[in-house]
Structure 1
Amino acid sequence: MSQPSILVAGAGPAGLILAIILLKNGVPVRLIDKAATYPIGSRGAGVQPRTLELYDILGVLPEFEKVADTTCPVRRMYGLKDGVEVVLKEGPVFQRVEPTPGTPHANPVALSQDVHEEILRSYLHTLGGAVELSTELRSFEQSPDHVVAQIVKNGVVESARFDWLVGADGVHSCVRKQLGLSFLGETKEEQHVLVGDIVVEGLEREFWHYWIPQGKMLVLRPGTAASNGFRFAFTGGPEQWKQTPPTRTEFIKEFHAVTGRRDVRFGQMTWLSSFKPSMRMVDQFGRGRVFVAGDAAHCHSPTGGQGLNSSVQDAANLGWKLALVARGRAPAALLASYTEERRPVIAQMLQLTTALHEKTAAQVAAGAVEGDAWQRGGALGMLGVNARGAIVLGAGAGAGANTGAGAYDAAAGGVQGGYRAPDAPGLAGAAPRLFALFGPAAHTALVFGGDAAAHAAVAGALEAWPHGTVRAVLVRKAGAAAEETPFGEVVEDRAGHAYAEYVPGAAEGALTVVVVRPDGVVGAVIPDVEDIARYGSLIFG
């Protein structure tokens, strides 16, 4: 592969997904991480439906499905009565939703983050990419047409030139700090959370176990089925833990004190971390030729399982745009939409997770097991997360429209510009389902209805877009005659799901072109062929 034109600092989920998208677009990338070894530990174990959709489109989902826990766990909350442990409440962690043709991935799954990252690294390797460990970005300088990075690898200092730099280097981001971005928000100095992984015997693995004596909360939830590992979270621990994390022995002693249980046996503590909850985000997601993504751009309470998933979605939003610009297919001005589209999403994510954190803290302080602090699902699945702004067209969008519905609110009444593109199985022809047509290296133009003249006009308009940037697919109704078409790919909607999801209220035979962006977002809903050129100008200049 040629000299990398993009440097990505940080090889967590955001950096890995960004590198994967760039490589799938034929853009050489260098991915570095200052750690000497890959991290271990469950950390962000929840993978939300929106992320599963992205992985489906990227082609990596089958590897996740082999190892992820797809069950809906049961939360069991304990208390002490006359010195004897009793179950105070029991119920599902989230309300399971039945998948639909348009939403095949309707529920979250659980997967230890170290396994999650290992799958992404393996996929990266199949694309010819790799992670450089023990390689740290120390500083950088940017000019109008390039970035010079000072990189230290195994003690050797290197000065390297790149076209673009992306910092996915965590909450203490070197890139964010040197770029001078504000990190607005607050840190809960009075609170302290201990998290880690430990081997446990004597607890049923089908439950998430909660103990909530007044002012404290201890949670043990099972990890992968292949081990006896449990992830624990502990708030309200001894004051000295804020300065010095406990040893395994000290943790077990506190477990006995909180629960009264002596029948639970503990093995090795494989990972331990502690933190004070912080809720912060940058004022903008980049400046010049340098951008930030993931924890470098936002941090939050882990309540709600949004962090890893938001990081992945940052990378998905930035990746296709950066690839177009790097390949000379779009102007650098397109990259301004990264901040415009992601800032409202992250702002609302922080509102949701902070509100959930505050409710949980109140429940813990009161030692209460009832209340909506324990509810999950709904908007947290991220299927409503949208990107309405200046580069989308269609109902509910319009140039610059990012008002009205929230950034986490699903579209009402069919597909709309800026919202997720639904799936549709039961196709015959070029692909068995729509998700199999979408991909990170090109837009997908789905053509519904219209006659031969309209199809010719659509094909002609799409030819004006840069070569290789769009995949045009004619979607025929079930049983429609196979007439000659200017489009290279055709699918027959035999099950009727594509028309039902995308154009449910369209008049018989009326033309509608739905353009799906490389990140699985509807870029445009076009009833008028002239708007094909309009959307193209928004993206390609």
Structure 2
Amino acid sequence: MHTDVLIAGAGPTGLVLACDLARRGVAFRLVEQAGQLFPGARGKGLQPRTQEVLHDLGVLDAVHAAGSRYPLMLTWEDGTPGQEWDLMERHPAEDGVPWPEVWMIPQWRTQEILHARLLELGGQVEFGTAVTAVRQDAAGVEVELAGPGGTVTATAGYLVAADGGRSTVRRAVGIPMAGESVDPTPALVADVRITGLERDHWHIWPKAPGGPALLCPMPGGGPTDFQLFAQCAEGEPDTAPAAVRQLVADRTHLPAEAVAGVGWASAFRPTAALADRFRLGRVFLAGDAAHVHSPAGGQGLNTSVQDAYNLGWKLGRVLRHGADPALLDTYELERLPVAADVLEISTSLHRAGGVSSGTRRGPRTEQLGVGYRGGPLTAEHRTGLAEDALQAGDRAPDTACTTPDGAVHRLFDVLRGPHPTLVVAGAALPDVPRPPAGVPAVRVADGYGEGYLLIRPDGYIGLATADPADLAPYLAALGTA
């Protein structure tokens, strides 16, 4: 009953972390209180940076096949459609950003794809198993698990709370979470089957009686699947199927009979909350257990995936490569400031009116600009760089690269996997130095300036230097001899 890492919660955060640990050869257990994967469409937008993570994990093709671009918006009033408009700033694919558009896919389908990948990697989810108590000391964590066979005690080197905004683990270890109401108006979100409404647009009724209503067509399911979002100015939203049908009839030009079915439904009050810390001893918080967002801007799921991606490689380096356990301290130091910034983005978008306001989504929400300049793992030794130049701490953009044997590849394909990567940029530099085993080395001609750049396993530039002698100490800190 002992494992290196115990993960509580098999949502997107827990599944991404489990997939990452599995490919690194780290022993783990993934437990989920529910008897199945989450069934709803809730977190439906995958930002460009998240798609890069999913490419690294080997599931992006499946995600693209199951999803679609975001549709244009269409506003209705008095049963009459108005002019269509675009919520997204559209960008063509370019050398550094191969997947520039937010991709729409219901959360349940994203989780199915990640779960299938986890099974391929030899992992599994223990469904119907809940964490009920946590104790820890300097040597490890002891967890009580209530499952199909009763209550058992399990031990682990580390415990990761990926069990949502009401995290049992966070409360068990006593980490406070400070929050505020983003909007006092309660809201309803539901998965519905609609007939008589075309699926080429995201439909909005901003002046509907009782509050705005939105119906967004969902890919990956039946031909009449939509996600309903409605603000409810009067009273608490009723999630019963009959009440959802009546809400659609009251807010739109569709009759109640047009709602052919109601699936997952939830009532909530938009809230922003941030845990005081993301680590306490051997326990880490990730995803909604660490930060809770308004749905505006599609930031919650994406920030959660980035948490898992940041933590996974660090656990792998400590547990499989002998890196100093102090490397794990950098998880909170890097991710807590990012979560705080992203919370401000989602809160400001919601208070500006959310989707109904017409505020377009662009670089601010795509998370390509998230980075760790000045962070504990960032070492920029070059001088005289412009502020907008690519630097240590920044996301490593995609580009053409050449391996020592002369073969040409895409850098993102070389980065795929659990390893760091050495990039040699600039024609004036000598030949690529021989890196340690397990560290691929490539040369690039464009986009990286000049120098030796070590790309961390999560795709960020850790070290940038003009002196190859700086490489060995940095790699040693990552557990690479």
Q: What TM-score results when the alignment is normalised by the length of structure 2? A: 0.92
Structure 2 residue identity aligned to 1:145: A
Partner of residue 191, structure 1:
185
- Where 2:380 maps in the other structure, the secondary structure is coil
Bigger shift: 232-241 or 136-145? 232-241
Partner of residue 421, structure 1:
396
**1:191-242 CA distance string (max 9 Å, x none):** 211001110011110100100127611000101265111000010254142x
Of 188, 213, 219, 2:214 maps to 219
**For the residues of structure 2 that align with 1:266 and 1:275, how far apart are their CA atoms?**
22
Of 227, 230, 234, 1:231 maps to 227
Partner of residue 77, structure 1:
75
Offset, 1:395: 6.7
**For the residues of structure 2 that align with 1:17 and 1:75, how far apart are their CA atoms?**
31
Which of the pair has more CA radius of gyration?
1
CA contact (8 A) 1:167 1:173 kept: yes
Offset, 1:161: 1.5
CA contact (8 A) 1:392 1:535 kept: no
**For the residues of structure 2 that align with 1:92 and 1:351, how far apart are their CA atoms?**
23
Partner of residue 278, structure 1:
271
Offset, 1:277: 0.9
Structure 1 residue identity aligned to 2:456: R
Structure 1 residue identity aligned to 2:42: R
CA contact (8 A) 2:191 2:226 kept: yes
**For the residues of structure 1 that align with 2:154 and 2:49, how far apart are their CA atoms?**
36
- Where 2:445 maps in the other structure, the secondary structure is helix
**For the residues of structure 2 that align with 1:213 and 1:430, how far apart are their CA atoms?**
59
Offset, 1:538: 4.4
Of 434, 441, 455, 1:473 maps to 441
Of 498, 501, 515, 2:454 maps to 515
Aligned CA distance change for structure 1 residues 205 and 131 (closer, same or farther; 3 Å): same
CA contact (8 A) 2:218 2:226 kept: yes
Offset, 1:328: 4.7
Offset, 1:283: 1.6
Matches within 5 A, 1:357-436: 357-360=350-353, 371=357, 373-388=358-373, 389-394=375-380, 413-425=388-400, 429-430=406-407, 432-436=409-413
Structure 2 residue identity aligned to 1:282: A
1:356 aligns with 2:356: no
Backbone CA RMSD of aligned residues: 2.5
Structure 1 residues not aligned, in runs of 5+: 364-368, 398-410, 476-497, 507-511
- Where 2:123 maps in the other structure, the secondary structure is coil
Aligned CA distance change for structure 1 residues 430 and 34 (closer, same or farther; 3 Å): farther
Of 309, 322, 326, 1:333 maps to 326
Partner of residue 3, structure 2:
4
Structure 1 residue identity aligned to 2:390: V
Offset, 1:188: 4.7
- Where 1:35 maps in the other structure, the secondary structure is coil
1:150 aligns with 2:144: yes
**For the residues of structure 1 that align with 2:259 and 2:42, how far apart are their CA atoms?**
19
**For the residues of structure 1 that align with 2:183 and 2:75, how far apart are their CA atoms?**
27
**For the residues of structure 1 that align with 2:98 and 2:133, how far apart are their CA atoms?**
44
Structure 2 residue identity aligned to 1:19: A
Partner of residue 499, structure 1:
445
**For the residues of structure 2 that align with 1:451 and 1:374, how far apart are their CA atoms?**
46
CA contact (8 A) 1:3 1:28 kept: no
**For the residues of structure 1 that align with 2:347 and 2:114, how far apart are their CA atoms?**
29
- Where 1:327 maps in the other structure, the secondary structure is helix
**For the residues of structure 2 that align with 1:93 and 1:188, how far apart are their CA atoms?**
21
CA contact (8 A) 2:70 2:104 kept: no
Partner of residue 345, structure 1:
338
Structure 2 residue identity aligned to 1:381: E
Structure 1 residue identity aligned to 2:441: V
Offset, 1:3: 5.8
Structure 2 residue identity aligned to 1:392: T
Partner of residue 178, structure 1:
172
Aligned CA distance change for structure 1 residues 226 and 540 (closer, same or farther; 3 Å): closer
Partner of residue 50, structure 2:
51
Offset, 1:440: 4.0
CA contact (8 A) 2:393 2:462 kept: yes
Bigger shift: 39-48 or 431-440? 431-440
Structure 2 residue identity aligned to 1:218: A
**1:30-86 CA distance string (max 9 Å, x none):** 1010101222111101011000011112222111122111x2411111112xxxx23
Partner of residue 463, structure 2:
524
Aligned CA distance change for structure 1 residues 79 and 91 (closer, same or farther; 3 Å): same
CA contact (8 A) 2:288 2:300 kept: yes
Percent identity between the aligned chains? 34
Aligned CA distance change for structure 1 residues 249 and 286 (closer, same or farther; 3 Å): same
Partner of residue 478, structure 1:
none
Partner of residue 414, structure 2:
437
Offset, 1:261: 3.7
CA contact (8 A) 1:217 1:234 kept: yes
How many residues are aligned here? 474
**For the residues of structure 2 that align with 1:339 and 1:240, how far apart are their CA atoms?**
37
**For the residues of structure 2 that align with 1:3 and 1:247, how far apart are their CA atoms?**
43
1:257 aligns with 2:255: no
